[in-house]
Amino acid sequence: MNNTFLIAEIGQAHDGSLGILHSYIDSVSKTGVNSIKFQTHIAEAESSEFEKFRVNFSYEDKSRFDYWNRMSFTDEQWFNIKLHCEDVGLEFISSPFSVKAVELLERLGVKRYKIGSGELSNLLMIENIIKTNKPIILSTGMSDFKEISNTYDYIKNRIDDISILQCTTSYPTPPEKLGLNVIGDLKVKFPKCKIGFSDHSGKIWTSIAASTLGAEILEFHVTYDKDMFGPDSSSSLNFNEVKELVDAINFIEVAKSNTVDKSENKDFKKIKDIFEKSLSVNRKMAKGEVLTIECLESKKPANMGIPASKFQHFLGMKLKVDKNQYEFLKPSDLED
């Protein structure tokens, strides 16, 4: 397992179906990620009749409140979801969207809390999370540095383990809005935090790039098919892409943990002898002719007389012997 913490986000991809949700758990368990993340919605605690965002995106729900209601599960159902995750070796994570959701997740015994981008300024909910004394991951998709700092400052003296993810709340996120540069900015501004990347691009390249830039946590949505109904489907990775991404991150982790010393190249001695070249003449030349750049060629292998890298030192010298075309030159063939 690599050192980058990988979170496969299910979100609303289950569309309120327990059967589909449990199928996702089994599928995610085969990819090699560390954890699987859901969202815990309690409609009456989170939403109201005045919530207009994406009201008409669903063919099933008359209102957003109805949608959240359909996305919710009972304590017993959540308990079995968490148990299934643990049985297949995945850490169960679920983002709360209300104080009531935090209370539910505490009853389940979660190990950490992931705060969604829209909840970064919800200090009431965050206060209740702080009281649990558990690690917190902050997503920053809707926030500027000042807002991030305000929430971080509110938490920092009471929670030791805080992570911050660069994120863009755009579905799917185009490359010009990814903000990969912010990973470095966050590392400078919050040196005591783990810094990661929460992706909505629907491409594996984004998380690979984030990993090379030092992201210690990678979160990405997953789906069986990007054409499936749901608010995040087009922004998600399918399972073949997730497996490819995990392989890529493992590969990058090995590369990052094994530094290369370019101050010496002893490991390449044998291959350098094969690939590097020696000087030859490019035409038949007679004794007494003067060497010019126009009459020289470089040929494999190395160590056949004069290295091609030393050609300038021998320009203007006269041949002491006749030379056939493409015959190697030796120092002894030339007058001092």
CA dist., res. 65 & res. 54, Å (int): 11
Amino acid at 268: F
Query: CA 222 to CA 218: how far, in whole Å?
Result: 13
Predicted confidence at residue 230, as pLDDT, reads 75
Cα distance between residue 238 and residue 225, in whole Å: 6
The 10s digit of each residue's pLDDT in 243-275 is 999 999 999 999 999 998 999 888 888 999 999
**303-310 mean pLDDT:** 96
Is 1 a residue whose pLDDT tops 90? Answer: no
Identify the band that residue 86 occupies on the pLDDT scale cut at 50, 70 and 90: very high
pLDDT at 336: 77
Per-residue confidence (pLDDT) for residue 54, from 0 to 100: 58
In angstroms, how far is the first alpha carbon of the chain from the final one? 63
53 falls in which pLDDT band (50, 70, 90)?
Answer: low
The 10 Å Cβ neighbour count of residue 187 is 17
- Asked if residues 290 and 318 have their Cβ atoms less than 8 Å apart, the reply is yes
Average pLDDT of 225-243? 87
This prediction's pTM = 0.86
Q: What token pair was written down for 92?
A: 């169960």
| Average pLDDT value for residue range 152-161 | 96
Residue with more model confidence, 180 or 69: 180
DSSP letters for 149-187: HHHHHHHTTT-S-EEEEEE---SSPPGGGS-THHHHHHH
pLDDT of 65 reads 84
- E strands along the chain, which residues? 5-9, 35-40, 91-96, 113-115, 136-139, 162-167, 194-199, 217-221, 278-281, 296-299
Mean pLDDT computed over 81-87: 98
Would you say residue 56 has pLDDT above 80? no
61: helix, coil or strand? Answer: coil
What pLDDT was estimated at residue 55? Answer: 53
Task: Choose the CATH number for 266-333 among 3.90.1210.10, 3.20.20.240, 3.40.640.10, 3.30.365.10.
Answer: 3.90.1210.10
- What is the pLDDT averaged over residues 181-204? 97
Fold (topology level) of 5-257: TIM Barrel (3.20.20)
Mean residue pLDDT of the chain comes to 93
What pairs with residue 323 in β-bridges? 285
pLDDT: is 307 or 52 the higher one? 307
pLDDT tens, position by position, 91-131: 999 999 999 999 999 999 999 999 999 999 999 999 999 99
Looking at residue 122, what DSSP letter applies?
Answer: -
pLDDT interval class at 327 (50, 70, 90): very high
Strand pairing category for 296-299 and 278-281: antiparallel
Q: Is the pLDDT of residue 33 over 80?
A: yes
Domain ranges of the chain: 5-257, 266-333
Is the pLDDT at 224 greater than 70? The verdict is: yes
For residue 61, the model assigns a pLDDT of: 80
Cβ atoms of 137 and 186 within 8 Å: the answer is: no
